[in-house]
Amino acid sequence: MRDVPRFLAAGVRRAFVHALRGLHAPNPAAGVTAERAWKLFLLVPRLLLARPHETGAAGRAALLERIRAFEAGCWRELLEAAPSPEQRLQRSAGTDAERMRERACAQVRRGQLSRARQTLTSAPLAPGNAATLRLLSDPDKRPPRPRQPMPDDIASFRAADRVHLTAAELGEALRTAKRGSAAGLSGAAVEHYRLLLEDEEAMDLLAHAASLLANADAPAAVLQALALSRLTALSKPGGGVRGIATGDTLRRLVSRALAALRAAARSGWERRWWGQLGCALQRALASTLLGGCWRAPAQPTGDEGTPLGWVLELAEAEQQSRLPLRA
């Protein structure tokens, strides 16, 4: 389920917070390692938000029972009961055209008219058979190995300063993310993480997890899992297959927050440049009128340049976003 029912929102939020607490303060002696906490956090949507077979009151009871099972620590049982991708595909009975129409109608009901139009006019899905796999894995068009090795200085690069994302920066990235974006392999969607916006502790914990991911400070198994993408095969009008890779939602969210941070730094540098340019013009004009000697000011890229921390303070002040939680 992309949209979490209101009666389920508090339970899903508690599940996210429980996993994030273990990630923030691991306790290996009690069996709470960073790797287990990461896995539990990424699996929360798959454990709790799969659409039940039942509808109405029975479906509501089934969803609430999952919350109780999660809080009781029955995570393996929930994972085994979660439907596999093949089972989810079997549930969506009908032809490709019927499934496309149902998806477009659901997007219209959510108010996503542009996405509904794209669904109806986009290229159809390629059949999930061996021929499609052979086209997607063609070694001539998609080499299985890099054409040249990556330089060691790039492969082992570590930034001098650690990146720290705040709850405000991550919250802004969540609010401005497009609603209805495709989920990654974990099954998490932007709408799921937006539940944490209503809890200050939850956002602080999520910002801590995002900072760890931004610095690649996570177990190798977690980094490898987040590096994977969901591959969708589309049929080209003139023949052939086009592969569309969809990365995990958390990875895209962290990238969005980092891009906004870079934009703030750029704004600060631009303000600093314009300030120095204004001072330089005034000094040049004064020296010309008075016939004195003018010494050029220090450039931002020189040894006497302004520290980056000072420049960031010149960026636009952070203000609380007035954007609604739902686009």
Tell me whether residue 322 is in a domain: yes
Do 299 and 239 lie in one domain? The reply is: yes
> How much is the pLDDT for 159?
76
Range of the domain at 31: 1-91
- Whole-angstrom distance, CA of residue 81 vs CA of residue 75: 10
> How much is the pLDDT for 269?
60
Write down the residue that tokens 């520290």 correspond to: 307
Tell me whether residue 67 is in a domain: yes
> How much is the pLDDT for 53?
85
Tell me whether residue 292 is in a domain: yes
Tell me whether residue 77 is in a domain: yes
Do 1 and 134 lie in one domain? The reply is: no
- Whole-angstrom distance, CA of residue 43 vs CA of residue 223: 15
Do 193 and 279 lie in one domain? The reply is: yes
Do 186 and 290 lie in one domain? The reply is: yes
Amino acid at 107: Q
Query: Other CB atoms closer than 10 Å to residue 33's CB: what's the count?
Result: 15
| Number of domains, the chain | 2
Tell me whether residue 108 is in a domain: no
Judging by beta carbons within 10 Å of its beta carbon (0-12, 13-18, 19+), is residue 93 exposed, middle or buried? exposed
Tell me whether residue 105 is in a domain: no
Do 288 and 222 lie in one domain? The reply is: yes
> How much is the pLDDT for 311?
52
Do 73 and 165 lie in one domain? The reply is: no
Q: Model's pTM, two decimal places?
A: 0.72
> How much is the pLDDT for 18?
95
Tell me whether residue 273 is in a domain: yes
Helices (H), the chain: 6-24, 34-48, 56-71, 75-81, 85-91, 96-109, 113-121, 130-136, 152-155, 167-176, 190-193, 200-214, 220-227, 249-290, 308-313
- Whole-angstrom distance, CA of residue 168 vs CA of residue 318: 8
> How much is the pLDDT for 224?
92
List per-residue pLDDT tens for the chain, 327 residues long: 888 999 999 999 999 999 999 999 998 888 889 999 999 999 999 999 988 888 889 999 999 999 999 999 999 999 999 887 666 655 555 566 777 788 788 888 878 888 888 878 877 788 878 888 888 888 888 888 888 888 888 878 777 788 899 999 999 999 988 877 788 888 899 999 999 999 999 999 999 999 999 998 999 999 999 999 888 888 888 788 888 888 899 999 999 898 887 666 666 666 666 666 677 666 666 666 666 555 554 444 444 455 555 555 555 555 554 444 443
Start-to-end Cα distance in the chain: 18
> How much is the pLDDT for 303?
45
> How much is the pLDDT for 128?
79
Do 22 and 63 lie in one domain? The reply is: yes
Do 255 and 311 lie in one domain? The reply is: yes
Tell me whether residue 152 is in a domain: no
> How much is the pLDDT for 147?
84
Do 54 and 193 lie in one domain? The reply is: no
Do 288 and 176 lie in one domain? The reply is: yes
Write down the residue that tokens 């690069």 correspond to: 157
- Whole-angstrom distance, CA of residue 168 vs CA of residue 6: 24
Do 64 and 132 lie in one domain? The reply is: no
Do 184 and 310 lie in one domain? The reply is: yes
